[in-house]
Amino acid sequence: MQVHELPTPSLLVDLPAFDRNVATMAEAWPGDRLRPHVKAFKSTSVAKRLAAHGHHGFCCATVREVIGMAAAGLGADLLLANESLDLARLTPMVEEGRARITVAVDSEETIDAAVRAGIPEVLIDVDVGLPRCGCDPADAGRLADLARGQGLGVRGVMGYEGHLMREPGDTKADLVERSMALLNEAHAAVGGDIVSGGGTGTWDVNSWITELQAGSYCLMDTEYTPHAKAFENALAVWTTVISTSAKGWGVLDAGLKAFGMDHGDPTVIEVGDCWFVSDEHITFGIAEGASVAVGDRVRVLPAHVDPTVSQHERMYVVDGDEVVDVWNVDLRGW
């Protein structure tokens, strides 16, 4: 199949760019030093390609992702890097030995949830500056003792410096070091072999963790690429021009229901600039000198990979104009 034969809107993955991104990260964070975050791509097909590069442990953001990864034979070391009180759905996999499952905890309540579900191992999630989940670093040791007292294995700590992923380069390294000092302070009190954290935005400056939780690097988006310049935009939405105006604009057949918009407007490649996005449409200003006709196909780059991928059922993998594979987005939902 050729790319022009695909329906629109469709997700396209540029395979050479994807492979270069994967190779770049694997060289810097080889093997189990990288714990890819499947929330970015929500596809066991992608996860299998990463496992083939030696990355056997994965991060998950939802119970559904954990279940899907285990069912696909990718359950060697799954971390639910998110607090959840709904862990009972994982109990059968634990009891049947189908996956090694670790969950993040940051409170007595989340520890109790892990115990009730029979989850054997946890990481203590620590607040390192992002106002989201995570315990006070000074409370990490107490929570670890509480978890061990209830029969849980405590593998170590995790802390996500998500507030620094897009920090300017001249201040990023120093601020990451400060955040990781909090995490390592907690680790000293907690113990265990794992210090888990980081992401695509701090992949080249965070040297204080034992494993990196990065996911966006595979596909990338326009909001992230300035902050992780070693990686390329491998993901695009394939669209069709469905209307043009003599007043200087065109309309594409993909809108809010095809893109994650929380990080800004998508980028229309080559033919113009995005003016605004509607439910099923992008209206773009036609670039000076560009020739745009109804029926033309246009690549549009998303500003945020994760929610863009989650709105599609599959990704079409392309090498040039040839469709070489289809990766199902099979980890959607909760």
State which residues form the domain around 153. Answer: 30-213
Instruction: Note the pTM of the prediction, 2 decimals.
Output: 0.96
Among 213, 245, 262, residue at a domain's last position: 213
3-class DSSP state for residue 117? helix
Q: How much of the chain exceeds pLDDT 90, in percent?
A: 99
Whether 145 and 189 share a structural domain: yes
3-class DSSP state for residue 113? helix
Whether 64 and 196 share a structural domain: yes
Whether 121 and 270 share a structural domain: no
How many angstroms separate the CA atoms of 309 and 322, rounded?
Answer: 21
3-class DSSP state for residue 286? strand
Low-confidence ranges of the chain (pLDDT < 70): none
Q: CA 158, 33, 148, 81: dihedral to nearest 10 degrees?
A: 40
User: Is residue 122 within 8 Å of 145, Cβ to Cβ?
Assistant: no
Among 178, 213, 248, residue at a domain's last position: 213
**pLDDT at site 31:** 98
> How buried is residue 229: exposed, middle or buried, by Cβ count under 10 Å (0-12/13-18/19+)?
exposed
CATH of the domain at 171: 3.20.20.10
Whether 132 and 102 share a structural domain: yes
Whether 203 and 257 share a structural domain: no
**pLDDT at site 284:** 98
**pLDDT at site 120:** 97
Which residues face 124 on adjacent strands?
105, 157
> Max alpha carbon distance in the chain (Å)?
72
**pLDDT at site 298:** 97
Whether 106 and 203 share a structural domain: yes
Domain tally, the chain: 2
Q: How far is CA 275 from the centre of its chain?
A: 27
**pLDDT at site 322:** 98
Residue-averaged pLDDT of the chain: 97
Whether 254 and 193 share a structural domain: no
Residue 305 CB contacts under 8 Å (≥ 6 apart), including other chains: 40, 41, 216, 219, 220, 221, 224, 235, 260
Whether 88 and 145 share a structural domain: yes
273 lies in a domain?
yes
**pLDDT at site 182:** 98
- String of DSSP letters for 159-171: E--GGGTT--HHH
312 lies in a domain?
yes
